Amino acid sequence: MAAPTSGSRRIAGTEVPITGSDKVRWIDLTVPSSPSVAPASPADPFVSVPPRAASGCHVVSSGGESQRYLAWRIHEEHQNVLEVIELCASKEFPSSGLRLVFQEALCPFAFMCESEGARRGESVYLLYVLTISGVALLCNLRSPFSYVSGSILSQNDILEFSLQTHTQSANITAVKAKPGCLVIGRQDGSICCYSLGKLAPSSPVFSNELRDDAGIGRLWTLVSRTKALGPVQDIDTATVNERELLFALHLDGSLRVWDISSHTKLLNYNVHSNDFEGQPSRVWVGEADDDQELISLAVLHQGTMVPACDRVVVYGFSFGAAERFLLSPEPLVSAIPLLEGKLVDLKISTEKLWILKEVGPMLYEIVQYDSDGEEICSYVLQEDAISEQMFQSSESALDDLVWTADSIFSSMKEHSFSFISSMFLRRLLQPGVNHCSALRETLLEYKRFLSDSEFQSLTTSGLRKEILSIIEHEGSSQSASSTAYHWKKFSARYLHKWCGNNRPYGLFLDMNHEVFGLVRKGSFSLFRCLEGVEQLIYGSSDELGNLEGLEMNLFDDVSDTETLIEVLRCMGHINHLLGRSSAAIYYESLISSVISPDEIASQILKILESGFSPQSSSPLITLLGTDAYVERRQMAHKSQRKFSVEMLLSFHKLQSRSTSWSAVFDVIEKFMKCLNTKVTIQEHELKRLCNVNSTILVQATSQVARTMFESAFDLFLFLSYLVGVGGQVSLLQSDVSRIKLKLFPMIQDILGQWIVLHFVGISPTTPPAMEDFSYQLSYLQLGIADEVSLHRKLGSSDFTLACLLDFPKSAEGDHLSACFPSTAEVVDLVRQFISSIMRRNNFDHANSFLGSTINLAAVFVRHGQYEAAQNLLGILDTYLNYARASQTDQDTDIACSARLHLNGFCLLMLAHDEANIVLRESRVHEAIRCFFRAASGQEAPKALKKFSSETGFQISGECKSISLWRLHYYEWAMQKFEQNSMSEGACQFALAALEQVDSIVDLDNVSEVEGLPETAQMIKGRLWANVFKYSLDLKNFRDAYCAIVSNPDDDSKYVCLRRFIIVLCELGETKVICNGEIPFTGLLEKVEQELFWKAERSDLSSRPNLYKVLYSFEAYRNNWRKAAAYMYRYFVRLSREGDAGGSRQLSHVLHEKLHALSTAINSLQLVEPSCAWLDSVCEADDQTSPSKKPRNNLLMENSAFGTDSELSRLQFCVDIEILEKEYTLTEALYMLNTVNSRSKSHESHSIEALTDILINENLYDLAFTVVLKFWKESGMKRELERVFAAVAQQCCPNRVGNSGRNFTDTQQLLLLPSSEDDARDGSSKTIAVAHQVQGSCQWETLELYLDKYKDLHPRLPVIVAETLLYADPEIELPLWLVQMFKTTKGGNRMISWGMCGKEADPAALFRLYTNYGRHAEAANLLVEYLDSFASSRPVDVLHRKKMSAAWFPYTTIERFWCQLEEMQSAGHSADQCDRLKKLLHGALMKHLQQVVVDSEDVLSSVGGGQGVESQSS
């Protein structure tokens, strides 16, 4: 609160805002006007009342049950709009109000009352207004306001009457209304009464003019009017002795009182008769006091020359109660000068007068005077309170905040921004300070453009983020001083906007209930009196000597009073030096727990002792400038020196006035009792309420709590400073001990109580999480409308934590529901409310503050306000540090256990909704620590059983030992962490529960073991299973394995093992199984079975591939045979199930099959040859997939394996050779799939067909590999001949027709291609094959492979040549092929020895030529060899002459001769045949002669002459 504006004024009370008034949703309702009435010109209106902002509040009684208040406002900037709100003290502040939009501007006047003719159960209000054109309107308004926004008020609900059409034509200067009557005063001084709403305008008595000649006669009319009256300045009414009186004030000073019902004048009094300067302008009439027979009124005299001459003159008229009612002609008169400012509104009663003044631009004050105008006191307005809370009350407040913050946070820079921002945001967003319109306009100034819907949808946390982003953008995160400076600027802008949106319009006074309030532009508020201690605290230093007027009898001894005055003066010195920034920072440290309160207090004491000492001056120089910094540094130094001197003088005065410091401390203790919350023993009925009165009570409580907290903190600083300078003021060690051991704990208790009360009064509730189904269900199960409504209010910015509590109901009546409380009743209710909160204690022996705070935290936990409960428990933790010295061990242990239990639960629930991972983990770890510490206390079972409904921890029956209780507690904590998906905490508490089970079993206590709900082994098995689950959730696989092997329950162990394997496979962490990180001691067989079981039941496309996992698992343990078996099993499943996904899937399947086979082959090669075989495939099929029909296997069906017995054996045993054959076939299929072959082979086809397809696709290497792998000896030669025949056919561009042999016709052996293959055939085929040999020419390919394989089968050249000649008899055989017939393996020509050789010799070529009619080539070949034989080298002659040294195909030669003759005789190529015959004949004759000669030489060499003789013979 703010200090009084003048040192001579006492603070009478303070404003209490009614929260929620800034969130009213307005219903726009247009009021139509009659077209016959022309609107007046704004420059020359018919109504001469000056335009201004106006407001009013009318009390409507409702049968004694409750009262309704009709408040209305007319804004100066919108003179044609009138806002109406219906308030009821026993209901919530209305969420909507009525905004009436008129066609022209209104006179700043309105009157509302309740219609008497309304139907039962329905309320109809009458509204009297007057437009500037002189049209009086009476509107009937339904309640509650159920109109649709944007609609038009029905003409049936409007009654219009134009005052211009009346006989009087003078302008209207004043207007007043009563139920059924409208009174106007005119420029000519006349006053007229209209029975508007009571009689019809056509009635002759509808209008009456109040005249002086009433009762004298009409003849004296002209005479009576000879003296002209001044214009009517103002009109007011009052009820005196059941008479409706009208008080009219004229410009000439005449004050006339009329009886409205009889239209007679009762009094004519001239206010100028008292010689008061200024012209009378306004009049206010108070309610008549029938007991004193006195009625008071006030007249405003405005100075015409100097505004300071304005004064209010109070007149007290006595009246008689006889039949002839008379007013005294000579009233009691007292004048009250306004001194400064302009009067806005005034309210008067018989004893008091309240004046609302505007003392400056957006600066207002309310002054209260007694009846004689002597005693003056003022009220603290909300502007002053907000400016002080936001450090805007004076220029020095900025210095205090900036210098204090920089000095305190010089060593804590990392927390300065968040701490100071939290402090400002907490103050800014509290109810009564937070105003939606002002805050939105402030955001707009910082370029934060938010639409209405966007701004309304912002939660409290959303607003915090928006504002924080603005401060961060300003660059305030550099230092504490810059942060405080930018917050100060933001707060200044906000305060300016707040004042603009909440300008006071008028006062509201209900004398029947002594209710005093204020109507503002954007809010409503009431006033309350001050607490007794508040009056003492807010008294100025000059008034401290007079405590009698404060109605506080603290001390009987005058010296004690003087001692207290001096102590208060010392506290004032401290407050003057530090301002309120130090208390604000200390308050925030208690709430936020970011920085230790002890550390804050020590830094503040350093400032008191040595002054402000910022660590670095550069931030302050940057903000303030060098000159300003030096100047303010000097001022701070002077203030510090002055403070030190004043404190020492005050200390010496205390010593001189008291016998010892102990007497001073006795006085301080008595004063501390006044600062303490007064918990009364008297019981009050408590009730859950949520209405306007409850919000007023909450706001008033928070105001009192803040004042008390700041005063107690000043006292704490005073005592702390006294201890620091104790040596200078003769402070004994016993005195220091008393301060530290007794006074400090008492002050901490007081600070704790008031900060808790203030915190719950200003902190908005948070909405429950959407997923908090249990919390929402609990409210639905209650079935109570109030509880459901309360649940819906959670999260509203004006619904604070205190609204969740029960409110007191006094014995005299329910002050919170009947009507608005009076100024004194508010304070009484605050005392009762505080007492009811502090009396909430579930503990028998614990301190009231401890018990009440823990109980409050439990209430907030019950309503889901976990962050608020955690803040309260943080305050309690700070208090416990001081309380341990004064509380018993049992009390401290009980409070600590309860605090830790609730704090851990709050942290757990907050972590569940936290999005920030780092903060979430931090809260989880702190919650774990709290639960463990809560369970460690010996009094924990006693402390925690009282919070079963809040946290859910409940034990049926009594626990016979602490270990058994802790077992239940740890299991509960484990379940809570598990429910919130926090496996780390759940795992720790499961392990802790296992320790408790072990301790119970190890004690060998039969009673404790019997107390277990299950057997120890069952509990261990369940807990170890939970440890396994939580470790697995955390991906702590080694811990999960340890939990498995530690589980004593075999069934649970194997279930966990299965789950372990399944989760590892789902997470892709199978390397944990395979790399030996986990030994699986005694579980290898189970692991292998589980893996195989899952592999057989998993889809082949699943990842990871469990067959590969099994291979790695066995390979790491060198079980190569099992590793190969699992890979082969994978191959078998691929063969059965892998070709259902189209060509792309088929390619992947074939690749996987190749990988599986190669891995199996490599693994078996590492096994002993005698064991290098695998189990049968059929056996595995029977185990795993009996429902799946095995497909035929190309390898098993091929007859190339030999006998049936061998084939039968291979079905049960697979060795490396079989695997290699499978690999070859799979590779062939894979390559065919790679080149997109149209003639795709199916596994049911023969291997011969496969080789043909490979040849057709130019995959020659694979084709020959298949031949060499599947055939041996003669079968291999036969297949080679067939393959080369097919290759040779591809080299023939011109083939003979389909008649005869066709080596490549394989269509009858193949399935037709699918439709997908047909569609894909249109694309060009330009695929490079990795196994394709170099050279693209078919002839080169044929030459290459023929040269490679002719040694394996020498007849291959013959097959190729014959195939070529068969395919194209006219073809010219390539030279390289002919040379293969003519040369040996070493490249030597086979010429000297004739045409003999191996299978591919010249003779064979000659036969081919002869067979296929190539006569010229045959003749040339024969002649070539005959000539070569005849022309042998000399070295070869001897060899040639040996027996059978040369051989020629004479039979073929003979057949060749016959063919030539036949052709010649047939006339075919006769000339060529003749030439060839001649050539052949000559060559043969020459050869035969050579043979004869060689034969003779041989005979002669063998038998000498015998040979010759026999030859000749």
Predicted local confidence at residue 1169, as pLDDT: 85
Least confident of 414-423, 713-722, 1047-1056, 1240-1249: 1240-1249
Predicted local confidence at residue 1397, as pLDDT: 61
User: Of 163-177, 695-709, 1390-1404, which has the strongest mean pLDDT?
Assistant: 695-709
| 262 φ/ψ angles, rounded to the nearest 5 degrees | -100, -5
Predicted local confidence at residue 1232, as pLDDT: 83
pLDDT in tens, 995-1042: 998 888 775 555 556 667 778 888 899 999 999 999 999 999 999 999
| 978 φ/ψ angles, rounded to the nearest 5 degrees | -65, -40
| 221 φ/ψ angles, rounded to the nearest 5 degrees | -65, -45
- Residue 204 scores a pLDDT above 70: yes
Helix 1106-1116 to helix 1120-1137 angle (10° resolution) is 170
Calculate mean pLDDT across residues 1418-1432.
78
CB 1025, CB 1052: distance < 8 Å: yes
**Total residues belonging to the chain:** 1513
Alpha carbon distance 1357, 458 (integer Å)? 93
CB 900, CB 930: distance < 8 Å: yes
Calculate mean pLDDT across residues 1385-1405.
65
| 1297 φ/ψ angles, rounded to the nearest 5 degrees | -60, -175
Alpha carbon distances (Å) from 883 to 67, 596, 750, 840: 48, 17, 12, 19
- Residue 471 scores a pLDDT above 70: yes
**Facing residues of 256 across strands?**
248, 268
Calculate mean pLDDT across residues 891-911.
88
Q: Kindly write down the DSSP assignment for every residue of 769-801, as one continuous string.
A: PTT-HHHHHHHHHH--HHHHHHHHHTT-TT-BG
Helix 1247-1256 to helix 1273-1289 angle (10° resolution) is 30
Task: Categorize the per-residue pLDDT at 258 as very low, low, confident or very high, splitting at 50, 70 and 90.
Answer: very high
Strand, helix or coil for residue 1300: coil
Calculate mean pLDDT across residues 457-462.
85
Alpha carbon distance 1131, 1100 (integer Å)? 11
Tokens of 576: 């003057």
**Percentage with pLDDT > 70 across the chain:** 80
Task: Categorize the per-residue pLDDT at 1298 as very low, low, confident or very high, splitting at 50, 70 and 90.
Answer: very low
Task: Categorize the per-residue pLDDT at 546 as very low, low, confident or very high, splitting at 50, 70 and 90.
Answer: very low
Calculate mean pLDDT across residues 1113-1121.
88
* 487-493: long-range pairs with CB below 8 Å, 24+: 487/420, 487/421, 487/424, 488/391, 488/392, 488/398, 488/401, 488/402, 490/424, 490/442, 490/446, 491/390, 491/391, 491/392, 491/424, 491/428, 492/390, 492/392, 493/442, 493/445
- Residue 991 scores a pLDDT above 90: yes
- The C-alpha angle with vertex 322 and arms to 320 and 327, in degrees rounded to 5, equals 30
Least confident of 11-20, 493-502, 527-536, 787-796: 787-796
Alpha carbon distance 1409, 1397 (integer Å)? 17
The dihedral of CA 862, 866, 870, 872: what is its sign?
negative
Tokens of 386: 């907000």
Q: Kindly write down the DSSP assignment for every residue of 1253-1283, as one continuous string.
A: HHHHTT-HHHHHHHHHHH--HHHHHHHHHHH
- Residue 1185 scores a pLDDT above 60: no
pLDDT in tens, 594-639: 888 888 898 889 888 888 776 667 777 877 788 888 887 888 888 8
Calculate mean pLDDT across residues 1269-1278.
84
Alpha carbon distance 592, 126 (integer Å)? 52
Alpha carbon distance 693, 699 (integer Å)? 10
DSSP letter, residue 214: T
- The C-alpha angle with vertex 124 and arms to 123 and 127, in degrees rounded to 5, equals 140
Alpha carbon distance 725, 717 (integer Å)? 12
Encode 803-835: b = buried (16+ Cβ within 10 Å), e = exposed.
bbbbbbbeeeebbbbbbbbbbebbbbbbbbbbb
- End-to-end CA distance of the chain: give it in Å, rounded: 164
Tokens of 1278: 């036969």
| Residue where the block lists tokens 């509808």 | 206
Alpha carbon distance 1503, 855 (integer Å)? 145
Predicted local confidence at residue 697, as pLDDT: 93
Please report, as a single letter, which amino acid is at residue 354: W
Torsion-angle region of 579 (φ positive above 0: left; ψ -120 to 50: alpha; else: beta): left
- Residue 506 scores a pLDDT above 90: yes
Calculate mean pLDDT across residues 666-680.
86
Tokens of 1022: 């369940």
- Residue 1307 scores a pLDDT above 80: no
Predicted local confidence at residue 839, as pLDDT: 78
832: Cα separation from own chain's centroid? 40
Predicted local confidence at residue 1509, as pLDDT: 45
Alpha carbon distance 160, 178 (integer Å)? 17
417 or 1207: which leads in pLDDT: 417
The dihedral of CA 1492, 1497, 1502, 1505: what is its sign?
positive
Predicted local confidence at residue 539, as pLDDT: 59
Mean of per-residue pLDDT scores for the chain: 80
pLDDT in tens, 66-96: 788 999 999 999 999 999 999 988 888 998 9
Task: Categorize the per-residue pLDDT at 526 as very low, low, confident or very high, splitting at 50, 70 and 90.
Answer: very high
pLDDT in tens, 292-326: 888 999 999 987 765 557 889 999 998 886 666 67
The dihedral of CA 813, 817, 823, 829: what is its sign?
positive
Query: Which of 131, 123, 126 is closest to 181 using CA atoms?
Result: 126
| Residue where the block lists tokens 């379940």 | 975
CB 156, CB 217: distance < 8 Å: no
372 or 429: which leads in pLDDT: 429
Helix 744-762 to helix 581-592 angle (10° resolution) is 80
Predicted local confidence at residue 555, as pLDDT: 65
CB 84, CB 127: distance < 8 Å: yes
Q: Kindly write down the DSSP assignment for every residue of 816-863, as one continuous string.
A: TTSS---HHHHHHHHHHHHHHHHT----SSS-HHHHHHHHHHHHHHHT
Predicted local confidence at residue 1209, as pLDDT: 40
- Residue 1261 scores a pLDDT above 80: yes
H/E stretch holding 186:
strand 181-186
> Cβ of 225: how many Cβ atoms within 10 Å?
13
Tokens of 727: 């040596």
- Residue 1183 scores a pLDDT above 50: no
Alpha carbon distance 1305, 1295 (integer Å)? 13
Alpha carbon distance 564, 612 (integer Å)? 28
Task: Categorize the per-residue pLDDT at 883 as very low, low, confident or very high, splitting at 50, 70 and 90.
Answer: low
pLDDT in tens, 212-223: 754 444 444 444
> Cβ of 774: how many Cβ atoms within 10 Å?
11
Alpha carbon distance 636, 607 (integer Å)? 11
Torsion-angle region of 919 (φ positive above 0: left; ψ -120 to 50: alpha; else: beta): alpha
The dihedral of CA 515, 520, 525, 529: what is its sign?
negative
Calculate mean pLDDT across residues 516-523.
94
Alpha carbon distance 132, 171 (integer Å)? 10
Calculate mean pLDDT across residues 877-887.
68
Q: Where are the beta strands (DSSP E) in 338-437?
A: 342-348, 352-360, 363-370, 376-380
pLDDT in tens, 800-849: 999 888 887 654 555 566 788 899 999 988 988 888 888 776 665 456 78
Encode 909-920: b = buried (16+ Cβ within 10 Å), e = exposed.
bbbbbbeeeeeb
556 or 761: which leads in pLDDT: 761
Predicted local confidence at residue 1275, as pLDDT: 83
Task: Categorize the per-residue pLDDT at 953 as very low, low, confident or very high, splitting at 50, 70 and 90.
Answer: confident
CB 525, CB 87: distance < 8 Å: no
Give the 3-state DSSP-derived string for 991-1023, with helices as H, strands as E and coil as C: HHHHHHHHHHHHCCCHHHHHCCCCCHHHHHHHH
Calculate mean pLDDT across residues 936-962.
80
Task: Categorize the per-residue pLDDT at 1096 as very low, low, confident or very high, splitting at 50, 70 and 90.
Answer: confident
**Percentage with pLDDT > 90 across the chain:** 27
867 or 1323: which leads in pLDDT: 867
Alpha carbon distance 1262, 1251 (integer Å)? 8
